[in-house]
């Protein structure tokens, strides 16, 4: 590919060949001579105390190096940036099933697994609380605007319903893993499955009691994370500790079963939504009150009101949230944290309300589109939600929908149409990006961020290729290392928006430096010219009638490379309300005779500013929509009520959509650059791909069947039983 007109195009991943050939190194692919393997011993109670740990048998097994318990391990400290408040193996208290009580380290994964099983632990159990959330736990005093209670009471048409979402487990294909190498001189090198090498470096250094410069975190490739890999989990610090004490590299790979126990999940929620409207469909009041389940010593939960504040033009609003505590592991961020379960409730309620009002659900939304952000009266930086609705409606064929449920047939199959909207705040953090020009005509871009799988490698290469006029195959991208100039964590749909200004600045700095060299170089054809009359264009420095490739200037200067250090600050609004928007449309089919429910089609109309790479962007939305099918119809982690163990803790029993469950998906990107966010107008799209899918499906199920299911996942039992 020789064109350098790449921004906004469908560009194949530059790391694609590495991935499909198996060359790409994920954390657990880093292997070292003499490396040991660690396997943790999980608690088999969910509440109580460890009374004794007998490691004699385990230690006697062949190949076993050490069994670490709170008695014989090196001290680990508490730290922010690790989702468990307590340090790993801090004391004998157990508050969830699967909490680590010991760590077995051996020469092979098999020996370590056998040793972990041979550790004999006795417990003093206490009674376990993993109850489902109940209505009494929903709060009713929160923040908001206007006088929501009075406005609701006085509304001509009212809706008051409860919606529930279950515990969901992230389940990225790549298991959480840590490979730690310790050197007494330089400290730790940690190959970690993290969405933020900088954050992980900080959290691990604090837990290990080391200064930050003695911990280096490397994440070259990540098999996704969905939020579950934003912060570090207990195995990471334990693995580092073991590597130091034993003087050998140590690897831990969390098992699939443990993914359900001790590395986070999306909290279950219970949400009460009250909507009051005038009889002509103008919203008067919206009250969104919710509780989510957290661990005993955690405050993490789902901030379900994330999108509620600004989405509709409603003068009277209440948002109240609380977390309640259960004997479960710590929850954490999962794609669209808060907003995704939140808009499930509010967008389902909007559908129910439209029906009460006798309005088309799209019309109802149009009637309540705000002119400015009603939460702060700020103008929107760029909001085209109504266009999302219009385009989505056209592409799905909304005119074919029959508002009367259970009336549209395709043979025996009942067909239903549904819509659900979503938003996610947009902005950007600060970042540092170095852009190097080399004397062989190549460029290298370096940043301490990482590619979660969304295409960050490619985005960097596209921008630098276009701005420097160097073909993309001559651009190297170096990311995934905490020693690099600090960059964003891969979360909150913010990497692309964040790296753009710093990358553009890096390019600018590199060019400025190059131009200054162009006149300084001995025998320079430009020496008689002034610096500011020189131009950099398409890889060449041009002045007067002469053009020289940048590589020649470096050679003339006897320099291997020059580096432009790019920096940018954050921007989280600055007087504008910044969000990405989406309208998802779903068509479902219900065949009563065989109790088959299918999502047949999804259309997603995305207002995400300028899309830098349409191919990787579309890829993100496809994955998110399938995740939404899982949320709507399949997913849910179940805790056994007496023991507190997640009982469907594997890919067979925790249902996710298979290929056969995937609908036909049509992704449409609106093209309205949001220049308030950054120079290229790019906003994030990771979270809005999911926000709104589940309610669109639920609303379509109602339209097909006449059954309103207010608790996810929607099961066929819900549709069959009276």
Segment lying near ligand MOS (by CB under 6 A), choices 55-63, 332-340, 495-503, 602-610: 332-340
Q: How far is the CB of 195 from ligand MOS (least distance, A)?
A: 6
Binding mask 64-103 for ligand MOS (x = CB under 6 A): ----------------------------------------
User: What is the H or E stretch that residue 120 is in?
Assistant: strand 120-125
Nearer to ligand MOS, 234 or 337 (CB): 337
User: What is the H or E stretch that residue 518 is in?
Assistant: helix 495-520
- Within residues 532-571, the interface with ligand MOS by CB under 6 A covers none
Nearer to ligand MOS, 491 or 609 (CB): 491
Q: How far is the CB of 225 from ligand MOS (least distance, A)?
A: 6
Give dist(CA 58, CA 240) in Å, integer.
21
Q: How far is the CB of 672 from ligand MOS (least distance, A)?
A: 23
Q: Which of 482, 492, 497 is nearest to 449 (CA)?
A: 482
Q: How far is the CB of 620 from ligand MOS (least distance, A)?
A: 12
Catalytic pick from 110, 640, 687, 717? Answer: 687
User: What is the H or E stretch that residue 149 is in?
Assistant: helix 148-153
Q: How far is the CB of 105 from ligand MOS (least distance, A)?
A: 31
Give the residue, chosen from 116, 263, 333, 629, that forms a contact with ligand MOS under the rule CB under 6 A. Answer: 333
Q: Which of 322, 533, 568, 292 is nearest to 428 (CA)?
A: 568
Segment lying near ligand MOS (by CB under 6 A), choices 237-245, 334-342, 570-578, 663-671: 334-342
Nearer to ligand MOS, 581 or 590 (CB): 581
Rg of the chain in Å (alpha carbons):
27
Q: How far is the CB of 228 from ligand MOS (least distance, A)?
A: 8
Check: CB of residue 423 under 8 Å from CB of residue 307: yes
According to the binding rule CB under 6 A, does residue 334 interact with ligand MOS? Answer: yes
Nearer to ligand MOS, 195 or 294 (CB): 195
Chain-centroid distance, C-alpha 102 = 30
Binding mask 602-621 for ligand MOS (x = CB under 6 A): --------------------
Give dist(CA 474, CA 466) in Å, integer.
12
According to the binding rule CB under 6 A, does residue 492 interact with ligand MOS? Answer: yes
Nearer to ligand MOS, 70 or 619 (CB): 619
518: left (phi over 0), alpha (psi -120 to 50) or beta: alpha
Give dist(CA 46, CA 398) in Å, integer.
49
Segment lying near ligand MOS (by CB under 6 A), choices 83-91, 254-262, 330-338, 497-505: 330-338
Nearer to ligand MOS, 188 or 424 (CB): 424
Give bridge partners of residue 601 from the DSSP assignment: 587, 664
Buried b (16+ CB within 10 A) or exposed e, 654-663: beebeeeeeb
According to the binding rule CB under 6 A, does residue 627 interact with ligand MOS? Answer: no
Q: How far is the CB of 185 from ligand MOS (least distance, A)?
A: 35
What stretches of 358-451 show up as alpha helix (H) in DSSP? 361-367, 385-396
Q: Which of 487, 15, 496 is nearest to 222 (CA)?
A: 15
Segment lying near ligand MOS (by CB under 6 A), choices 66-74, 79-87, 328-336, 423-431: 328-336
Check: CB of residue 704 under 8 Å from CB of residue 590: yes
Check: CB of residue 98 under 8 Å from CB of residue 643: no
Segment lying near ligand MOS (by CB under 6 A), choices 81-89, 271-279, 327-335, 400-408: 327-335
Strands 250-253 and 36-42: parallel
Active-site residue flag, 687: yes
Instruction: Please give the structure tokens belonging to residue 284.
Output: 């008067």
Q: Which of 58, 42, 60 is nearest to 50 (CA)?
A: 42
Binding residue count for ligand MOS, defined by CB under 6 A: 10
Nearer to ligand MOS, 138 or 691 (CB): 691
Please report where in the chains the tokens 């009889």 appear, as a residue: 279
Q: How far is the CB of 456 from ligand MOS (least distance, A)?
A: 13
Give dist(CA 140, CA 288) in Å, integer.
9
Provide CB contacts within 8 A for 462, sequence distance 6+. Answer: 6, 7, 9, 11, 472, 612, 613
Nearer to ligand MOS, 470 or 690 (CB): 690
Give dist(CA 455, CA 529) in Å, integer.
42
Nearer to ligand MOS, 194 or 434 (CB): 194
Nearer to ligand MOS, 26 or 226 (CB): 226
Instruction: Name the closest residue to ligand MOS (Cβ).
Output: 227
Provide CB contacts within 8 A for 520, sequence distance 6+. Answer: 557
Give bridge partners of residue 511 from the DSSP assignment: none
The CA-atom distances, in angstroms, between 347 and each of 387, 587, 651, 694, 702 are: 18, 16, 30, 9, 13
- Within residues 192-251, the interface with ligand MOS by CB under 6 A covers 195, 226-227, 230
According to the binding rule CB under 6 A, does residue 335 interact with ligand MOS? Answer: yes
Q: How far is the CB of 170 from ligand MOS (least distance, A)?
A: 9
Report helix, strand or coil for 558: coil
Please report where in the chains the tokens 């890919």 appear, as a residue: 651
Q: How far is the CB of 698 from ligand MOS (least distance, A)?
A: 22
Burial of 592 (0-12, 13-18, 19+ CB in 10 A): middle
According to the binding rule CB under 6 A, does residue 488 interact with ligand MOS? Answer: no
Look at the chain and count its residues.
722
Instruction: Please give the structure tokens belonging to residue 86.
Output: 């307590």
Segment lying near ligand MOS (by CB under 6 A), choices 92-100, 107-115, 329-337, 576-584: 329-337
Instruction: Please give the structure tokens belonging to residue 221.
Output: 């490739």
The answer to whether the Cα torsion of 402, 403, 409, 413 is positive or negative is positive
Nearer to ligand MOS, 337 or 564 (CB): 337
Q: How far is the CB of 191 from ligand MOS (least distance, A)?
A: 20
Provide CB contacts within 8 A for 20, sequence distance 6+. Answer: none
Q: How far is the CB of 275 from ligand MOS (least distance, A)?
A: 27
Nearer to ligand MOS, 168 or 351 (CB): 168
According to the binding rule CB under 6 A, does residue 284 interact with ligand MOS? Answer: no
Strands 596-607 and 664-669: parallel
Angle at 168 between CA 79 and CA 196, to 5 degrees: 40
Cis bond before residue 713 (omega within 30° of 0): yes
Nearer to ligand MOS, 278 or 619 (CB): 619
The answer to whether the Cα torsion of 194, 199, 205, 211 is positive or negative is positive
According to the binding rule CB under 6 A, does residue 337 interact with ligand MOS? Answer: yes
Segment lying near ligand MOS (by CB under 6 A), choices 81-89, 235-243, 331-339, 579-587: 331-339
Q: How far is the CB of 331 from ligand MOS (least distance, A)?
A: 11
Q: Which residues bind ligand MOS (CB under 6 A)?
A: 195, 226-227, 230, 333-335, 337, 491-492
Catalytic residues: 687
């Amino acid at each position: 590919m020789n064109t350098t007109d790449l921004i906004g195009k469908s560009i194949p991943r530059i790391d694609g060949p590495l991935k499909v050939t198996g060359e790409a190194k994920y954390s657990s692919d880093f292997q070292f001579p003499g490396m040991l393997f660690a396997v943790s011993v999980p608690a088999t109670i969910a509440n109580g105390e460890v009374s004794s740990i007998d490691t004699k048998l385990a230690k006697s097994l062949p190949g076993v190096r050490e069994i670490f318990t709170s008695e014989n391990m090196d001290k680990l400290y508490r730290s922010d940036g690790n989702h468990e408040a307590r340090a790993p193996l801090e004391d004998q208290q157990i508050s969830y099933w699967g909490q680590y009580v010991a760590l077995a380290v051996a020469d092979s994964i098999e020996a370590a697994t056998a040793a972990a099983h041979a550790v004999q632990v006795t417990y003093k159990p206490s009674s376990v609380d993993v109850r489902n959330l109940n209505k009494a736990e929903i709060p009713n005093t929160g923040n908001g605007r206007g006088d929501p209670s009075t406005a609701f009471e006085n509304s001509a048409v009212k809706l008051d319903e409860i919606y529930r979402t279950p515990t969901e487990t992230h389940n990225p294909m790549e298991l959480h893993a840590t490979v730690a190498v310790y050197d007494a001189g330089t400290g730790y090198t940690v190959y970690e499955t993290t969405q933020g090498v900088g954050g992980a470096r900080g959290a691990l250094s604090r837990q290990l009691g080391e200064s930050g410069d003695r911990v280096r975190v490397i994440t070259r490739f990540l098999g996704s994370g969905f939020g579950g890999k934003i912060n570090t989990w207990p195995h990471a610090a334990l693995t580092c500790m073991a590597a130091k004490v034993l003087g050998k590299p140590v690897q831990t790979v969390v098992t699939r079963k443990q993914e359900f126990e001790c590395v986070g999940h999306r909290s279950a929620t219970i949400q009460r939504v009250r909507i009051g409207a005038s009889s002509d469909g103008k919203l008067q009041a919206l009250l969104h009150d919710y509780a989510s389940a957290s661990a005993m010593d955690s405050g993490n939960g789902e901030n379900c009101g994330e999108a509620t504040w600004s989405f509709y033009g409603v003068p009277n609003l209440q948002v109240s949230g609380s977390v309640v505590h259960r004997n479960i592991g710590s929850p954490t961020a999962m794609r669209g944290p808060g907003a995704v379960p939140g808009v499930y409730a509010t967008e389902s309620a909007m559908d129910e309300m439209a029906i009460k009002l006798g309005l088309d659900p799209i019309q109802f939304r149009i009637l309540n589109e705000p002119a400015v952000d009603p939460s702060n009266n700020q103008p929107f930086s760029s909001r085209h939600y109504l266009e999302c609705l219009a385009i989505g409606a056209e592409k799905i064929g909304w005119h074919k929908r029959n508002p009367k449920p259970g009336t549209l047939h395709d043979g025996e199959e009942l067909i239903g149409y549904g819509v659900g909207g979503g938003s996610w705040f947009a902005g950007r953090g600060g970042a540092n990006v170095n852009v190097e020009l080399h004397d062989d005509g190549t460029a290298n871009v370096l940043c301490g961020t990482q590619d979660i799988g969304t295409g960050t490698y490619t985005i960097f290469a596209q921008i630098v290729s276009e701005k420097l006029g160097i073909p993309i195959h001559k651009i190297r991208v170096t990311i995934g290392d905490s020693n690099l100039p600090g960059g964003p964590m891969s979360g909150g749909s913010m990497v692309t928006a964040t790296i753009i200004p710093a990358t553009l600045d890096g390019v600018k700095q590199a060019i400025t430096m190059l131009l200054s060299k162009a006149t300084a170089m001995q025998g320079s054809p430009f020496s008689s010219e002034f610096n500011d009359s020189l131009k950099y264009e398409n890889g060449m420095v041009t002045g007067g009638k002469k053009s020289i490739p940048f590589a020649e200037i470096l050679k003339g200067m006897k320099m291997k490379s020059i580096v432009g250090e790019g920096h940018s600050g954050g921007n989280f609004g600055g007087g504008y309300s910044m969000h990405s928007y989406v309208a998802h449309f779903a068509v479902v089919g219900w065949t009563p005779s065989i109790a088959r429910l299918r999502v047949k089609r999804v259309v997603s109309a995305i207002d995400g500013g300028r899309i830098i790479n349409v191919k990787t962007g579309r890829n993100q939305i496809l994955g998110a929509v399938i995740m939404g099918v899982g949320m709507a119809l399949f997913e849910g982690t179940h805790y056994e009520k007496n023991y507190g163990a997640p009982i469907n803790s594997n890919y067979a029993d925790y249902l996710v959509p298979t290929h056969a469950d995937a609908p036909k998906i049509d992704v449409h990107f609106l093209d309205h650059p949001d220049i308030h966010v950054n120079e290229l107008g790019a906003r994030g799209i990771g979270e809005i791909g999911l926000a709104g899918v589940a309610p669109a499906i639920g609303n379509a199920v109602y339209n097909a069947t006449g059954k309103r299911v207010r608790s996810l996942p929607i099961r066929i039992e819900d549709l069959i039983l009276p």
